[in-house]
């Protein structure tokens, strides 16, 4: 069985790495937070001192980090993955970063004989724990076929969408749709509450119709409980929308609705709610309408 390295053991990376261990893979791990590494070592992983160390022990290296700068540092920086990677290593970046950054990292990796795939995910912490993420992959078809089964341990759907960078373009499209769905859900349910209609009954009535969605089913129950414990933090969605807006502007694509939801999230961030789950976006509408959906 192939030796796999994993760099980045945060909210998403930790359960993803644990699923690889459960599937029987030989896993070497590294994170800048030592306690996270220790938890994975207890689960059966090998402790590494750096990304370089991870790569030296692995045939395939997975990175799962917050944004483009962190991935570039972890892969290209001192003590990074490329310093330890052997010719023929496959690098799978599962972070959600700018497509331009993915292409830049891939070009530098290619210069060292390393093939890169960008493979961002959707589904948040619950799906990461269940191993049922949606994984969208960009990069060479032959490399994808080599790692498809590994990705399948972490995801319910694993789809190659095109060349390097296209995985992150797909993720940006995903994040636009999710953000706009949450905003629409929030507007609608605050309206219902203000009109004196039970939000729980509204949810049950509409979920089976055209307004029903995976977003509605995942987020409405939490909103109704007033639970904004992060499965996916507002500050991370802000990061994704920033990458979406930058990419759209580079391509000359207008994204007015995305821009509006971005500003709503920025208001919540300024109000100290950046660490809330993105379902907490409803708090913006509650404050304006002077009504409380939950509770």
pLDDT digits (tens, 9 = 90+) for 179-197: 999 999 999 999 999 999 9
Dihedral of the alpha carbons of 62, 68, 120, 267, in degrees to the nearest 10: 140
Give the mean model confidence (pLDDT) for residues 117-142. Answer: 96
Closest CA to 155 of 189, 184, 119: 119
Which of 28-32, 36-40, 232-236 is predicted with the least confidence, judged by mean pLDDT? 232-236
The pLDDT assigned to 144 comes to: 98
Q: What are phi and psi of 5, to 5 degrees?
A: -110, 150
Give catalytic residues, as residue numbers: 171
- Work out the percent of the chain whose per-residue pLDDT is above 70: 100
pTM of the entire predicted model? 0.92
Q: What's the pLDDT tens digit per position in 159-174?
A: 999 999 999 999 999 9
Confidence of residue 23 (pLDDT cuts 50, 70, 90): very high
Closest CA to 88 of 64, 65, 61, 63: 61
The pLDDT assigned to 295 comes to: 63
Confidence of residue 137 (pLDDT cuts 50, 70, 90): very high
Q: Which fold has domain 169-289?
A: 1.10.1040
Mean pLDDT of the chain: 97
Contact 199, 189 (CB under 8 A): yes
In this model, does residue 131 exceed pLDDT 90? Answer: yes
Q: Where along the chain do the CATH 3.40.50.720 domains lie?
A: 3-163
The pLDDT assigned to 12 comes to: 95
Q: What's the pLDDT tens digit per position in 253-289?
A: 999 999 999 999 999 999 999 999 999 999 999 999 9
Contact 76, 82 (CB under 8 A): yes
Cα–Cα distance between 209 and 218 in angstroms, integer?
A: 16
The pLDDT assigned to 146 comes to: 97
Tokens of 203: 């949810």
Q: What are phi and psi of 221, to 5 degrees?
A: -60, -35
Residue range 3-163 forms a domain whose CATH class is alpha beta
The pLDDT assigned to 120 comes to: 98
Give the mean model confidence (pLDDT) for residues 114-124. Answer: 96
| CA angle, residues 269, 177, 205, in degrees to nearest 5 | 100
Contact 95, 71 (CB under 8 A): yes
Query: Where is pLDDT greater, at 294 or 50?
Result: 50
Q: Where along the chain do the CATH 1.10.1040.10 domains lie?
A: 169-289
Tokens of 89: 């290593």
- Work out the percent of the chain whose per-residue pLDDT is above 90: 96
């Amino acid at each position: 069985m192939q030796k796999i390295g994993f760099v980045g053991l945060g909210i998403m990376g930790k359960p993803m790495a644990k699923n690889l261990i459960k599937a029987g893979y030989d896993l070497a791990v590294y994170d800048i937070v030592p306690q996270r590494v220790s938890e994975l070592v207890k689960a059966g992983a090998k402790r590494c001192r750096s990304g370089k160390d991870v790569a030296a022990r692995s045939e395939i290296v997975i990175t799962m980090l917050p944004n483009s700068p962190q991935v570039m540092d972890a892969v290209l920086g001192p003590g990074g993955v490329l310093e330890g990677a052997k010719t023929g290593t496959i690098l799978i970046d599962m972070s959600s970063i700018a497509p331009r950054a993915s292409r830049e990292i891939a070009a530098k990796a290619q210069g060292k004989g390393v093939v890169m795939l960008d493979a961002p995910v959707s589904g948040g912490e619950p799906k990461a724990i269940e191993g049922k993420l949606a994984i969208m992959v960009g990069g060479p078809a032959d490399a994808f076929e080599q790692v498809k089964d590994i990705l399948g341990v972490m995801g319910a759907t694993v789809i190659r969408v095109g060349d390097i960078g296209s995985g992150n373009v797909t993720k940006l499209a995903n994040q636009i749709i999710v953000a706009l769905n949450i905003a629409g859900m929030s507007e609608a349910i605050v309206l219902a509450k203000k009109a004196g209609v039970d939000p729980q009954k509204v949810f049950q009535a509409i979920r089976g119709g055209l307004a029903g969605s995976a977003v509605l089913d995942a987020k409405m129950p939490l909103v109704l409980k007033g639970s904004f414990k992060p499965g996916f933090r507002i500050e991370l969605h802000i990061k994704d929308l920033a990458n979406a807006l930058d990419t759209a502007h580079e391509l000359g694509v207008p994204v007015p609705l995305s821009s509006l939801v971005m500003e709503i999230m920025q208001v919540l961030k300024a109000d100290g709610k950046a660490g809330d789950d993105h379902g907490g976006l409803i708090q913006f509408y509650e404050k304006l309408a002077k009504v409380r959906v939950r509770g």
